[in-house]
Amino acid sequence: MAGAAGATDLMHSCFFGRDTLLAYTGLATLAELLLSSTAFARTRFSAGRRDIEEARRPVRYQALGQTDAEQAVVLVHGLFVNADHWRRNIDALAKAGLRVYSLDLLGYGYCSKPDPYGEVAASLNGENGRDLGEPEVELGTSWGGRRTVRVAMTHPLGSAYNFYTWSEQLCDFIEQVVDADHTTLVCNSIGSISGLQAAIDRSDLIKGVFIANPNFRELHVSEQLPILVPFVQGVQALLRDTPLGANLFKALAKPETVKQILKEPYYDETQVTDELVDVLLSPLLTEGADRIVFDTLSYSAGPLPEQLLQDPRLTVPVWVCWGEKDPWTPAPRVRALDRYPSVRRVIPIPGVGHCPHDEAPQLVNPLIEEFVQELFTETKFPSAASISS
C-alpha cells in the first residue's frame, strides 16, 4: 500500500501491547517499529479490570500514516469481516494527514480464535466484573417510532465473543499501540456497537465515533417477536451444536456463493469484486472460524445502538452516515437517531448499500476527514470552534 513520503506502512500480523511489543521485536523505539514492514507484539485484554498476562492472544492490525500525526483514527469492521474491509480507506485517510489503524477484532480475520467457552476466552471476557442486568430501554422501530422493552445484556451462553470484550480490545489497542492524544473510532455495521461501548468505557481515550451504517441487531431477543424467540433459539442451537452448521458453512464458504451473498448488501454490484470476496472469505477458512460464526449468531443479547446513544456516559460526539439503498437498515429508524444529543449529524448517502466505506469510499472518506478535523479543532481551539458554530 503506497503512502505519502515519510509515511509508515504497517501491514502485518501482530500481538499488540507496548512493552512486550518492543521486547519481542527487539526494536528500541516505536518509530523504528512503525517503519518496519513486519513486526510482532502481544496483547493483554483487561478482564475484570485486571491485566491477564497469560491471556496474550495474536491480533492482526494495519497502520499507515505519519508517526508524529496528532490525529489518529481506528477503523472497526462489521460482522464476519476483518481489517481488510477498510483497504479502500486507509491510504486516502493517511494522505489526508491522519495516522490510520485497522484491526481484526477477537475471533475475526486473522486474529486469535480461542474456544468461546474455554479458559483463555473466559479470562478475556469483557462481561467479567460488569453489573449488566436487564434494563428497560427505549428503542426505535422500523418506521421511526419508539417502544420500550427490557434488554437482556449478558451473553446467553457465557461466550467471550461479546461487545464488552471487543470494547476492551479497542481500548487496550488505543492505549497501548495508538497512544495518540486525539483518537477517533470509525465503525461499520455491528462494529458501531463495539465502538460506542468503547467510547462509554473510556471516554478519556476516544474523542468521537463515526458510524457508517448502524446495525440494529435483528437477532437480539429485544428485536424479535416473542413468539419467534424459541424457534430462533432452536435454529441457533442446531447450527451451533450439530454437524449441520459445519456442513452448511462448508457449502456456503465458496467464492461464487460469497459473491452472490455480497450482492445483497452492496447496491452497486460492480463493487463486489474477486478481490473483495478473497479478502473477506480467506480468513473465514482459517481454523476455528466456523465455530466463531455460529457462536456469534447465537449472541442474542447485549447492548443495542439506541441504548448506547442515549447512555448518559456517552459524552463524545457521533456522526452517522448510511447508504440509502441498504436493505438491512430501515431508513426511518436511522434518521430518528438524530434525537439523541450525542448524534450531531445523520447523513444519507444515495445509491449506496450497507458498506458505504467500501462501496463508495470517495464519498465516505471526506466525511471521516471532516468529522475528525471538526473534533480536533474543538479540542485544540475550543474558542474558535464555538465561534464557528
pLDDT at 382: 75
| pLDDT higher than threshold 70 for residue 41 | no
pLDDT for res 257:
97
Amino acid present at 44: R
First to last CA, the chain: 37
Question: Can you name the residues that pair with 74 across neighbouring β-strands?
Answer: 101, 185
- Mean per-residue pLDDT, 359-378: 97
pLDDT band at 9 (very low <50, low <70, confident <90, very high): very low
Answer whether 12's CB lies under 8 Å from 37's CB: yes
C-alpha–C-alpha distance, residues 52 and 136, integer Å:
33
Q: What is the pLDDT of residues 106-160, one digit of tens each?
A: 999 999 999 999 999 999 999 999 999 999 999 999 999 999 999 999 999 999 9
Is the backbone of residue 144 left (phi > 0), alpha (psi -120 to 50) or beta?
left
Q: Which of 22-36, 216-230, 325-339 has the lowest mean pLDDT?
A: 22-36
Q: Which residue has the higher pLDDT, 49 or 340?
A: 340
SS3 83: helix
CATH number of 56-379: 3.40.50.1820
Residue 385's pLDDT band, with cuts at 50, 70 and 90, is low
**DSSP conformation letters of 134-178:** --EEEEE-TTS-EEEEE---S-TT--S-SHHHHHHHHHHHIIIII
pLDDT beyond 50 at 211? yes
pLDDT in tens, 161-184: 999 999 999 999 999 999 999 999
CA–CA separation, 359 and 116 (whole Å): 32
Model confidence at 20: pLDDT above 90: no
> What is the average pLDDT across 353-370?
98
Buried b (16+ CB within 10 A) or exposed e, 164-202: bbbbbbbbbbbbbbbebebbbbbbbbbbbbbbbbbbbbb
Judging by DSSP bridges, how do beta strands 182-189 and 71-76 pair with one another? parallel
Instruction: State the pLDDT at residue 6.
Output: 33
Asked if 355 contacts 187 with a C-beta cutoff of 8 angstroms, the reply is no
Give residue 383's pLDDT. Answer: 60
Q: How far is CA 333 from CA 144, 145, 248, 311, in A?
A: 4, 8, 33, 18
Does residue 367 surpass a pLDDT of 70?
A: yes
State residue 380's pLDDT score.
79
Q: Which residue has the higher pLDDT, 61 or 12?
A: 61
Kindly state the cell numbers that stand for 33: 517499529
Supply 128's cell numbers: 467479567
DSSP string, 161-224: -SHHHHHHHHHHHIIIII--SEEEEEEEETHHHHHHHHHHHTTTT--EEEEEEE---TTSGGGS
Distance between CA atoms of residues 42 and 65, nearest Å:
22
List the alpha helices (DSSP H) in 87-128.
90-95, 119-124
Mean pLDDT of 309-337: 97
CA 43 to chain centre: 17
pLDDT of residue 58: 79
**Cα-based distances in Å from 236 to 197, 230, 287, 321, 352:** 25, 10, 21, 31, 31
For residues 46-52, give the mean pLDDT: 29
Residues of the chain with pLDDT > 70, as a percent, come to: 84
Question: What interhelical angle do 229-241 and 243-252 show, nearest 10?
Answer: 80
Q: Which of 82-96, 264-278, 335-349, 372-386 has the lowest mean pLDDT?
A: 372-386
Closest CA to 279 of 355, 169, 219: 355
pLDDT digits (tens, 9 = 90+) for 229-242: 999 999 999 999 99
Average pLDDT in the 287-305 region?
96
Cα of 80 vs its chain's centroid, Å: 11
Averaged pLDDT, 337-359: 98
Q: What 3-state DSSP class applies to 264?
A: coil
Supply the mean pLDDT for the chain.
86
What SS3 string covers 28-56?
A: CCHHHHHHCCCCCCCCCCEECCEECHHHC
Residues near 209 by beta carbon (within 8 Å), at least 6 away in sequence: 184, 185, 186, 187, 192, 195, 196, 199, 316, 317, 318, 319
Contacts of 125 (CB under 8 A, 6+ apart): 47, 158, 159, 160, 162, 164, 165
Residue 311 DSSP label: -
pLDDT-based confidence at residue 379 (cuts at 50, 70, 90): confident
Question: Which three three-digit cell numbers place residue 144?
Answer: 421511526
pLDDT at residue 50 tops 90: no
